[in-house]
């Protein structure tokens, strides 16, 4: 009785099995002749030249009653393990300064072609609504763009993985930055912003110098800082945790102080402010006034960098920062370019802008894009330095400006 354990699946395999059957017939004749002369008992394996090249072999077992079994085996040679196991990476993770440069390059490779494409719109048109209130409570509902991610991350993502965020550092960062956002509205709203469509809000006025602002403005800044920081913390502690520094306490033992001057950030800030003034006075279609909003954004984004970048650069999870920037930028463009300006939820007073407007996006000033980059960058630097302060266990003055001797082995 013959048992065939493999079945042909392709034309090539069928050809191989035909060759195997032919060699099997030769083998069967040889076995019968052997039994006649009483010289063949037990198990035997025969391989013929053609079958051997195809990894085919016939195996039969004989006994007192003749040939008991005849089997065709097809063996598959194992592939070297190296073909399945890639070797280790030959390069290490980039240094903090290189990581910062990569983040900048990622932004440039998106912003540059987008700017060129948007500039091709030479004759932009305006959205004209026949309804005096085309989006009732639109600004109010749009705050869910911040609130929903906060709830998803805080109520689902973090608890489901058993993650505990550094709450003291988190809330102290919010306690520092949220009042800065409130101050921007309270002091500068009368010069920088306007709110033409009152029907897009709840109609509840909030205090500000000059004239009140919608209550949504203060909710906007509070929820914005919380969402940006919570997104970064979740990415840094879970999604991209492999690129975070695990031991803040051990690292702070070798630090003399947290406050360290970064001249490059100061130089970048001065150059940006100078260029904005020159553009405003010489190129802008609105040369009157000063680029006040841009100057405030540069100060808000770069003051933390000027003071703490050398300390925090190696603690920042740059991959988490880059993803945070892109997600926040995506939300901002959906919010402002698609909804807020076309439907009058808020707008900008051009006299206090640099004068670089994006016509395809309802004359959105470039500051409206830059603000999200500045806010996210400054927020994360403040958070990292607060985390280091908490990890040091020192009073604020000793941690930020005090000097202490390094351990002897250093």
Res 152 pLDDT > 90? yes
Q: 28, 45, 75 — which closes off a domain?
A: 75
- Predicted local distance difference test score (pLDDT) of residue 79: 52
Residue percentage of the chain with pLDDT more than 70: 76
pTM: 0.75
**Average pLDDT for the chain:** 82
On the 0-12 / 13-18 / 19+ scale of CB atoms within 10 A, 266 is middle
In a domain, 183, yes or no: yes
24 and 139 in one domain? no
What residue numbers bound the domain in which 358 lies?
Answer: 96-400
In a domain, 408, yes or no: no
29 and 151 in one domain? no
In a domain, 192, yes or no: yes
Number of domain units in the chain: 2
Which of residues 403 and 281 earns the better pLDDT score?
281
109 and 66 in one domain? no
Backbone angles phi, psi at 68, to 5 degrees: -85, -35
Res 40 pLDDT > 50? no
Q: Is the dihedral of CA 383, 389, 391, 393 positive or negative?
A: negative
User: What is the rounded CA–CA span in Å between residue 295 and residue 354?
Assistant: 9
User: What is the rounded CA–CA span in Å between residue 392 and residue 385?
Assistant: 11
User: What is the rounded CA–CA span in Å between residue 250 and residue 248?
Assistant: 6
Res 409 pLDDT > 50? no
Res 347 pLDDT > 70? yes
In a domain, 223, yes or no: yes
In a domain, 410, yes or no: no
147 and 255 in one domain? yes
In a domain, 89, yes or no: no
Q: 31, 46, 75 — which closes off a domain?
A: 75
Residue position matching structure tokens 């309804």 = 131
| Residue 410 pLDDT level (bands cut at 50, 70, 90) | very low
| pLDDT tens, position by position, 357-399 | 999 999 999 999 999 899 999 999 999 999 999 999 999 999 9
Average pLDDT over residues 109-118: 90
260 and 207 in one domain? yes
Res 311 pLDDT > 60? yes
| Residue 37 pLDDT level (bands cut at 50, 70, 90) | very low
290 and 186 in one domain? yes
| Residue 52 pLDDT level (bands cut at 50, 70, 90) | very low
In a domain, 105, yes or no: yes
In a domain, 203, yes or no: yes
| Residue 295 pLDDT level (bands cut at 50, 70, 90) | very high
Q: Roughly how many angstroms between the first and final C-alpha of the chain, as a whole number?
A: 81
324 and 216 in one domain? yes
372 and 255 in one domain? yes
| Residue 163 pLDDT level (bands cut at 50, 70, 90) | confident
137 and 55 in one domain? no
- Predicted local distance difference test score (pLDDT) of residue 157: 87
Average pLDDT over residues 28-57: 47
| Residue 47 pLDDT level (bands cut at 50, 70, 90) | very low
388 and 323 in one domain? yes
103 and 48 in one domain? no
248 and 191 in one domain? yes
């Amino acid at each position: 009785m013959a048992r065939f354990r493999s079945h042909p699946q392709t034309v090539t395999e069928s050809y191989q099995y035909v060759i195997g059957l032919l060699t099997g017939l030769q083998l069967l004749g040889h076995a019968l002749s052997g039994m006649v002369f009483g010289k063949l008992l037990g198990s035997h394996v025969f391989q013929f030249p053609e079958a051997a090249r195809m990894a085919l072999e016939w195996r039969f077992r004989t006994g007192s009653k003749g040939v008991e079994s005849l089997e065709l085996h097809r063996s598959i040679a194992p592939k070297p393990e190296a073909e399945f196991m890639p070797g280790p990476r030959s390069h290490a993770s980039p240094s903090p300064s290189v990581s910062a440069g990569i983040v900048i390059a990622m932004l440039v490779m998106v912003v540059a072609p987008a700017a060129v494409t948007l500039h091709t719109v030479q004759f932009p048109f305006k959205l004209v609504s026949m309804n005096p209130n085309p989006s009732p409570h639109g600004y109010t509902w749009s705050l869910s763009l911040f609130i929903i991610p906060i709830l998803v991350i805080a109520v689902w993502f973090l608890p489901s993985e058993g993650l505990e965020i550094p709450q003291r550092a988190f809330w102290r960062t919010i306690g520092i930055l949220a009042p800065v956002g409130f101050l921007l509205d309270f002091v500068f709203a009368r010069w920088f912003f306007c709110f033409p469509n009152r029907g897009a809000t709840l109609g509840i006025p909030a205090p500000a110098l000059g004239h009140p602002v919608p209550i949504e403005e203060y909710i906007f800044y509070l929820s914005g800082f919380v969402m940006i920081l919570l997104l970064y913390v979740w990415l840094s502690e879970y999604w991209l945790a492999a690129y975070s520094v695990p031991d803040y306490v051990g690292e702070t033992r070798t630090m003399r102080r947290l406050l360290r001057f970064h001249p490059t950030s100061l130089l970048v800030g001065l150059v940006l402010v100078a260029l904005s003034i020159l553009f405003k006075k010489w190129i802008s279609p609105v040369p009157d006034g000063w680029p006040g909003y841009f100057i405030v954004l540069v100060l808000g984004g770069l003051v933390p960098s000027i003071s703490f970048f050398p300390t925090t650069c190696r603690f920042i999870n740059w991959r988490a920062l880059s993803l945070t920037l892109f997600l926040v930028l995506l939300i901002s463009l959906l919010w402002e370019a698609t909804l807020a300006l076309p439907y009058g939820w808020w707008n900008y007073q051009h006299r206090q802008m640099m004068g670089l407007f994006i016509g395809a996006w309802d004359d959105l000033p470039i500051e409206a894009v830059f603000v999200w980059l500045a806010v996210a960058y400054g927020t994360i630097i403040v958070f990292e330095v607060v985390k280091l302060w908490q990890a040091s266990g020192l009073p604020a003055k000793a941690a930020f400006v005090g000097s202490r001797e390094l351990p002897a082995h250093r």
